Structures are given as structure tokens and as C-alpha cells.
Structure 1
Amino acid sequence: MDNIILEMRNITKTFPGVKALENVNLKVRQGEIHALVGENGAGKSTLMKVLSGVYPAGSYEGDIAFEGEVRNFRTITDSEHVGIIIIHQELALVPLLSIAENIFLGNEVQSGGVIDWAQTFSRTRELLRKVGLNESPETIIDDIGVGKQQLVEIAKALSKRVKLLILDEPTASLNEKDSDALLNLLMEFRNQGMTSIIITHKLNEVRKVADQITVLRDGRTVETMDCHAEDVSEDKIIRNMVGRAMEDRYPPRSVPIGDTILEVKNWNAFHQLHSDRQVLHDINVKVRKGEVVGIAGLMGAGRTEFAMSVFGRSYGQRISGEVSMSGKPVDVSTVRKAIDAGLAYVTEDRKHLGLVLNNNIMHNTTLANLAGISNASVIDDIKELKVANDFRSRLRIRSSSVFQETVNLSGGNQQKVVLSKWLFSNPEVLILDEPTRGIDVGAKYEIYTIINQLAAEGKGVLMISSEMPELLGTCDRIYVMNEGRIVAELPKGEASQETIMRAIMRSGEK
């Protein structure tokens, strides 16, 4: 292959007790979009951290050749200096600074040691035009949505004269419209000669933009596929990722549905900060024993606000309405009372709200039910260890032990720890908010299997997801939300992507 801009040869990276990468090879051509895919824990992010200098030369084995020259990056600054820029899944923007300040932070436009604001704003406007963002350079980052923040990150990369742009799960937090806009921008950059590496679990996006696809599995290179030389199907990608075919991505479930276990009536809530702005309007929802109920809707429809407000009033103010469990009214005015009533809520933000990242798997697993591992209010270490090991085995959490810190786990394994925590609280109804966001197809299947097991035990599951195929593949019934209201209720037989979108569009016209 000619015109190789990047070659990584026999990269091996070892952490204590774990070989994260073993003889990984990667070649990227100038001016292409190269997709890097694999299950959580396959080594994708580790490989890119090696490339960008997060893991410095000397901490791994193997060679990195960029533009034909072997490089030894010891810091991110070293890799940025030659034009390799990485945008991590968790955006590195300062919320209370302006767009211009964020773009040139650490790379300020100066004149005589003083920041040249006129030049800074002028260059910012030019960069924003390149990424298709029509915002003032003085706009505060906190005042724009996640989709626009992602574009600001790309503008920041362009300000550093990027030659190779690495994007780690760039669309994980974006809605469909913003995701399409970002992917179209990458393809436009490709037409201008820029090279990109994209890490994503969304295989439809991979097939849309990628020129080549490299698959990693268990820290090794499995195959690199040329999308122009062959028709690369999603099934082939999945087969390479997980080492087996997955004809059915959603495990079958045949569970008798029982009586109503959760009922929310006439639920209203106002904005967390702006008490005059109502975000939820007279919501009525039922979940029955053994039933998986979905909530569909566009970003901003109020789905997360509803879930959090029901779970101990974790969101909102001036909340009103009734919650009943098995026909009896319950008090869910605090998180503790909601848990005692039989509710559990798996947040969409596992890193900030779901886990204590600098704590180990064992302590995170038992955090929501300390009484379950205590004797006379004293924690029983042996009991806690047994519980954590049981859940590690049951949910197949890949780790060196339950003493491993959760910050060092892959996204899929972090999600399993969050699930373990709430399953140990023994809820009657589990509310799942984007339970498979940023997770590979293999881990998704495992989580769907856990959901089915809960339904088989007679539990109720209320699932929020932005992926409509996921809702259609896992749910018995789907509520559709738009602008803080329930606008449709569809049984499985009547639900489709078309009927869901039609309900949303019709409600928006009223």
C-alpha cells in the first residue's frame, strides 16, 4: 500500500496483570477515514493513547512511524507538534470559558506576550466556518449543546494544523441529526486531504464513512478490511469483533406479563434552575411484572428528566403527581425512599453519576445496599467480597479482580458494574437510561440477556434509549415522548421506526 501516513508496528502494552495490546499492527493511508472497531476492552483507546503520547515512548514495545519517520512521543504535546490530534470521548472543554478561549487555550494568539483578542476572534470565526458552526466566538461553552461542543473540539484541532485527526466515540452523546452532521464534516475533510481515525461502536456509521476498517479483539489485530475492494457487511464486522456470528442481536424472550407493578400518574416537573419553565406535563406510565417498557423520543424530549424526577426527585422542582408500586402509593421524594420503595435507576452518565471511578469494583457494587453486607451497621468485608465476586462472575465483568479500580475498566465493563450495584439493591423496577451507550455489540447482547433475566424473575424494566432498533428489539411496549409529554403508546406489534417518528412529528405540529 502506497502513501502510508501512519504505521504502528508490533505494539505491545502491558499493565500490571493485564496485557492490553499484543503485537498490534495498524497502517493508515494519507487522506482516508480509517475506522478502529472492537469490543469494549479490545484495546482501541489504549492503542490511540500510545499513538498520541498519553502512554509515552518507553512504556510500550513496538514502533510508530509517522510520515515515514519513526517517532518517540513522550507527551501529547510531542504528537500534536507533528499534527496528530486526539479528541477523547469526554470532551476536554472548559465550560465557563468562551468558544474562542477554548479553541486557543494553551495555544494563545499573542503579540508581545499579550493575547491579541482581535486576531483570536478573527481566527475563531474562520475555524467555526470550516466546521459549519454559526456561533459567536464569545459564546460560553456551557450555553451550547453537546453536538456543537464536538464541533468546537474539531475547530480546536484545526487550529493546531492537524494532519491526523483521531476521534474516540465522537457521536456517543449526539442525536441522529448532529451525528450525521459530524460524519458529513469528516467526509468533507477527507475530500480536502485530511486523514482521520474514528473509534465507534455504531457500525452503520462505520459503513457510511470508512475507507478501511481495522478490527481489534482481546488486544490483537484481527483483520483490516478495505471498504472499496469488498462489500464489508455489519455481520462480517461483528463476526471479527466477537469471534462468532450474531444472527440475532436481541436474545428472544418469552415471559408471561403480570399485574401492574409501577404506575406513575399525572407527573409534572419544572426545570432544575428555571422554576417557571415546565419540562414534564401530566405524564402517565405503567409497567407490569415481567414487562420491558421503552421510552422513545428525540434529544430534549424529557425522558431523562422524567426518570430522574421519579427516582428520588433527582431532577427538577415543583414536582407533582403520584407513584404507586403494586397498587399502593409510595413516597419517592428522596433517593433513599425511592430505593426502599423498590426502584433503581441506572444513569446514562456512568462516569460522573453512576460510579466512584477512583474506587474499586467491590465497593462500587455494594454502594447502593450497604445494609446487605453489614452486621449491626458494621460492614462485613468477607460478605462484601463474596457479593462482588458473585456479580463479577454473573455479569462477566472483565477485570484482574474486584479490587481493580473502575476508572481502569472499559466502558462496557463499567456499565456492568453500575448494573451490579443496582441489581444488588434488589429492585422491583429497574429504570435503564441509555444502558448500552458507548458499548460494543457483544456487551450489548449480554446486557439484553440480563434485562431478559430480570423480566423472567417478574421484575419490571423501564428503558430509555435513543437507538430505536434497540427499543424495537427488546421492548414489549413503547411510550413515545416529545416536548415533555407522552404522545403515543405503542404495543410491540404496532411499533416501528416510522410509527414512532410519525407520532413525534405529529405532536410537534400541534
Structure 2
Amino acid sequence: MVSPRTAEAIKHVIEETERHGLLSIEGIRKEFPGVVALDNVQLRVRRGTVHALMGENGAGKSTLMKIIAGIYQPDAGEIRLRGEVVTLKSPLDALEQGIAMIHQELALMNWMTVAENIWIRREPKNRFGLIDHGRMAEMTADLFDRLRIKLDPRAQVSELTVAQKQMVEIARAVSYDSSILIMDEPTSALTDREVEGLFSIIRDLRERGIGIVYITHKMNELFEIADEFTVFRDGKYVGSHLSTDVDRDDIIRMMVGRDITDMFPKIECPIGEVILEVRNLTIPGVFHDISFSLRRGEILGLAGLVGSKRSNVAEAIFGVTPATSGEILVNGTAVTIGSPSAAMAQGFAFLTEDRKETGCFLSLNCLENIQSALITRSHVKGGFVDQSTVTKLAEDMARQLRVKTPNLYETVENLSGGNQQKLLIARWLLTKPRILILDEPTRGIDVGAKSEIHRLITGLAAEGVAVLMISSELPEVLGMSDRIVVMHEGRVSGVLDRAEATQVKIMDLAAR
């Protein structure tokens, strides 16, 4: 029988939880050298709800999530968990308090198995005190069954696709039986079918009373999965609403402080002669007989599901992993592209899909990242870099792309993922390429910056640049492309003109 004192204490906790929410953030402030990342922000997450946190890159979303996850400590403000004020001194402290976070940048250990990644520091032991790998595999299989994930617990993480790694991250976070789950762009590398599976998992977690903080730039996800949303802008709290009370345009206005009337500002411009032709490009076991042409001033979309090998084709054209057979012709002349430097000499530029692994130099500053491609081709006099000119060009491009950083001498690893992406785009635009290959150019980019980048791309096409654009977002492919090449399992399954292309036709070709 519960004593009166215990009953009163339980009643107090329930009342405080209802009043403050499962998680309540009040007056949080966080400063870094030269920048105020958060200024008196607030957030309230109720039990059994999905709360979307929206805002442009640099708005402070990830900074607040890192504070809630115990990675950063706030300079001011209060965090209440189940009505009680808490101090989260470390990620382990946050986990023990029931808060788990799935980061935008994957943080798995590639040399370990799936099961080892999920249960690290919590491994089951046998009677000799050693790790019981069989039991750990069984625990992982049970967890995957509950989440409807089809993966081998004993598989090494390095063998998994990006999408599969993302599912492992989700499973690891769920395995803590947390009351609060933070998801930072969890669907960025997932197919539509995998997204549907994730949303099913989220709904199940919501039904169990878990509060989920969901960060995304994808408006369709907000209205499909979120119950409430909060918007930050420039490190400040803008407002919170039920998702049923607003529409897409209302949210965009809150995020950017202005209307965005044209997300895909496609300029109808003359398309010139063929500048790039790919004939029967092949890497055995990866892709086969890839053939297409690209004209001056044309934006050629390259579409397909995850696993269609679109990125592998782009890497072969740029010389990252040269094809074993087939031809690449530039202006009608066959060329040998055995390395990225050879591709750059032919006027190519390549924005890679994974900014962390193959794009940014995270330990260098913004200026060094932007100028790294530029100085290999120009602005070198007598063996020395014309630094004043390079710096001016870099500053102008960073300003044009609205890169949020105290200055260009800030280390890139301190920037948000979206601002890192903008730096990569700045790097390649400054080389003034004739052929620009863009692999997921707006992944992790907020809606305002997406519109600006789309405008830049279509403006470059109008100037005669030939653009090959890979994107997993069908509205982006349809809105930006003059023609669309669709791939399925390493082969070209069809080519569509802009006038005839629809999402249904693209998906039909992509799933053949």
C-alpha cells in the first residue's frame, strides 16, 4: 500500500510533468567565440508526441539538441525533465536520464559489428565475465524484429550502406528505452520505403508515451509525422504551433522571415551543343553500359532509388574510381580521366554526396576549404597564391550563399552540416567549371538556402555551364531538370524530357 507521503510525491511529479511537459526548456543561452548560437530560446515536448524543430541552417537547432543530449552545457537557462530541473553534464548523463539522440552525422564504429555498436558499454556477459556475443546477437535480432529492420546483427558496419547505418543508429537509440528521443535529419539517406518504415517505428514509439524531437528540412515529413512544431531563427525562438494550425507557407515565413515564392526558379535558356558524352561506361559488379549526353546550358537530372549506383557513375566520370571500360568524350573528343585532377583539367567540378567523409577538410578553416580547388587551377603567380584575390572571391561567395560563420577563419568542424555544404558549393562554383556534377546539392540545406542554391544552379546553366545533378528528392529533379536519366540497379532504365516527366514515371523506371 502506498503511503500518503509517497502518494503526494507521485501526485506532485504528475502535476509538474503536465505543467511543464515531459521536457521543458526555458531561457537557454549559448555563446561560442564570436557568435551567440542560442539567445533565450524555449521548447516544450509533451509525452507521446512528435515535436518538430524547424529553422534554417545556423538557427541553433543542433546546438540546443546537443545541450539536451549533454554534449554542450548552456551558459544560462533551465532544463526540466518530468517537471524537475536537471543538469546534464555529459552524453552518458543524458542517457541515464532517459534522453537519446540520433545525430545527423553518423557516429558508428565501422570496424565493429552491428550488435557491438548497439550494445557498446552494455554488452551481456557470460559466466566467465566475457562478452556473450551469441546473446548479444539475439538481443539485437529481437530489437530489429520489434523495429521491423532487416539486418544481420553480426555484419560489420563497414559493409553496410548509408541507409542501413542510419537504421542501426535508430535502433541503438531506441535500445536505451529512453523517454525522449532526438532525431536530427534521420531520413536524409533513406528511400521512400525506408522512410515509411521509420515513420511506423516513430508512431509505435509515440503510442508508448515517448516524446520525440524531430529535426528536418523536409516539409512533407513535418505534416506527415509531427504533432507540434517550434521554429528558431538566428538563434532565437520564433514560435510554436500545432501542425494542424498552419500550412507550409506559414512555416517558411517563420523560418526565413520572408516569403519564398519560387522554390525551383528554372530559367528557360538556349541549350547548346553536346559538351559531355558518356558511352557504355562500366565497372563490373557496380554499373553497366551507362550512356547519356549532356549539353551546354542543360541541367540533366540523374534519378534513382538508393542502390541504383548514381553516385558511382558520377565518381567514375570525375576520376575518383575510373571505369574499366567505355568512353568519356568532352566536346566530341575522347578523354582519359584517371584522377580528379585530370577531370578538373577538362573543366569538371564535383560536389560529392558525403560532405563529412569526402567533401570538407574538417580540421581546416572556411577559407582554406573554399580555396582548396581554386588554387590548383588559377590565381597562382610565380609559384605563390594571389591570396588577396582568393580571399576576396571566397568572402563574396560565402556571403552570396549566406554561410553562417563568425569569419572565414573559423574551423569547419564547428559549423552546422548545412553550412559545411554551402562551403563545398562555394569551393566548386569559384572554379568556374564547364561541367558541374552535383551529388545531392541541397541535402541538409534549409528551405531558404535551397531556393538560393537552385537559383545559382539555373543561373550557371543560363551562362552555358552543363550541369549533371543527382538528387533523391523528386520535386527537385522535376523542378530543375531539362531531361532526366533514371537508373535502376546500375543500369539506365530510361530518359525523360522535362515536358513528359512525372513522379509516377520516374518511380516506374527507378523500380523496374
Counterpart of 1:97 (choices 85, 90, 112) is 112
SS of match in other structure, 1:77? helix
Residues 326/169 of structure 1: CA separation in 2 closer, same or farther (3 Å cut)? same
- Structure 2 residue identity aligned to 1:140: Q
Indicate the residue corresponding to 1:273 in structure 2: none
* 1:161 shift after superposition: 2.6
* 1:2 shift after superposition: 4.6
Q: What is the distance in 2 between the residues matched to 1:145 and 1:385?
A: 38
Q: Superposed, which structure 2 residues align to 1:201-220 within 5 Å? A: 201-220=217-236
Indicate the residue corresponding to 1:367 in structure 2: 372
Residues 32/378 of structure 1: CA separation in 2 closer, same or farther (3 Å cut)? same
Counterpart of 1:330 (choices 308, 320, 335) is 335
* 1:113 shift after superposition: 4.4
SS of match in other structure, 1:14? strand
Indicate the residue corresponding to 1:262 in structure 2: 276
SS of match in other structure, 1:267? strand
Matched, 1:85 2:114: no
Total equivalences in the alignment? 493
Residues 120/386 of structure 1: CA separation in 2 closer, same or farther (3 Å cut)? same
What are the Cα deviations for residues 63-85 of structure 1, in whole angstroms up to 9, with x where unaligned? Answer: 00001111111111111111001
Residues 148/352 of structure 1: CA separation in 2 closer, same or farther (3 Å cut)? closer
Indicate the residue corresponding to 1:274 in structure 2: none
Q: What is the distance in 2 between the residues matched to 1:103 and 1:380?
A: 50
Q: Does the CA-based 8 Å contact 1:322-1:329 persist in structure 2?
A: yes
- Structure 2 residue identity aligned to 1:216: F
Q: What is the distance in 1 between the residues matched to 2:261 and 2:396?
A: 30
What are the Cα deviations for residues 88-147 of structure 1, in whole angstroms up to 9, with x where unaligned? Answer: 112222222222211111223346743344543343232222212244432322334333
Q: What is the distance in 1 between the residues matched to 2:196 and 2:298?
A: 33
Q: Does the CA-based 8 Å contact 1:12-1:20 persist in structure 2?
A: yes
Matched, 1:352 2:357: yes
Q: Does the CA-based 8 Å contact 2:348-2:434 persist in structure 1?
A: yes
- Structure 2 residue identity aligned to 1:254: E
Q: Does the CA-based 8 Å contact 1:128-1:152 persist in structure 2?
A: no
Matched, 1:416 2:422: yes
Structure 2 residue runs without a partner (length 5+):
1-17
Indicate the residue corresponding to 2:384 in structure 1: 378
- Structure 1 residue identity aligned to 2:357: H
Matched, 1:501 2:507: yes
Residues 302/115 of structure 1: CA separation in 2 closer, same or farther (3 Å cut)? closer
Residues 222/418 of structure 1: CA separation in 2 closer, same or farther (3 Å cut)? same
Indicate the residue corresponding to 1:16 in structure 2: 33
- Structure 2 residue identity aligned to 1:420: A
Structure 1 residue runs without a partner (length 5+):
271-276
Residues 134/467 of structure 1: CA separation in 2 closer, same or farther (3 Å cut)? closer
* 1:204 shift after superposition: 0.8
Q: What is the distance in 2 between the residues matched to 1:135 and 1:455?
A: 42
Structure 1, 484-493 or 230-239: larger mean CA deviation: 230-239
Indicate the residue corresponding to 1:232 in structure 2: 246
Q: What is the distance in 2 between the residues matched to 1:176 and 1:161?
A: 26
Residues 247/385 of structure 1: CA separation in 2 closer, same or farther (3 Å cut)? closer
State the superposition RMSD in angstroms: 1.8
Q: What is the distance in 2 between the residues matched to 1:20 and 1:378?
A: 37
SS of match in other structure, 1:127? helix
Indicate the residue corresponding to 1:31 in structure 2: 48
Q: What is the distance in 1 between the residues matched to 2:305 and 2:175?
A: 32
* 1:460 shift after superposition: 0.7
Q: Does the CA-based 8 Å contact 1:264-1:322 persist in structure 2?
A: yes
Q: What is the distance in 1 between the residues matched to 2:393 and 2:207?
A: 54
SS of match in other structure, 1:189? helix
Q: Does the CA-based 8 Å contact 1:133-1:148 persist in structure 2?
A: no
Counterpart of 2:449 (choices 443, 448, 451) is 443
- Structure 1 residue identity aligned to 2:435: V
- Structure 2 residue identity aligned to 1:246: I
Q: What is the distance in 1 between the residues matched to 2:142 and 2:501?
A: 45
Q: What is the distance in 2 between the residues matched to 1:100 and 1:281?
A: 35
- Structure 1 residue identity aligned to 2:99: I
* 1:316 shift after superposition: 5.3
Indicate the residue corresponding to 1:311 in structure 2: 318
Q: Superposed, which structure 2 residues align to 1:82-481 within 5 Å? A: 82-110=97-125, 113-227=129-243, 230-270=244-284, 277=285, 279-312=286-319, 314-315=320-321, 319-371=324-376, 372-481=378-487
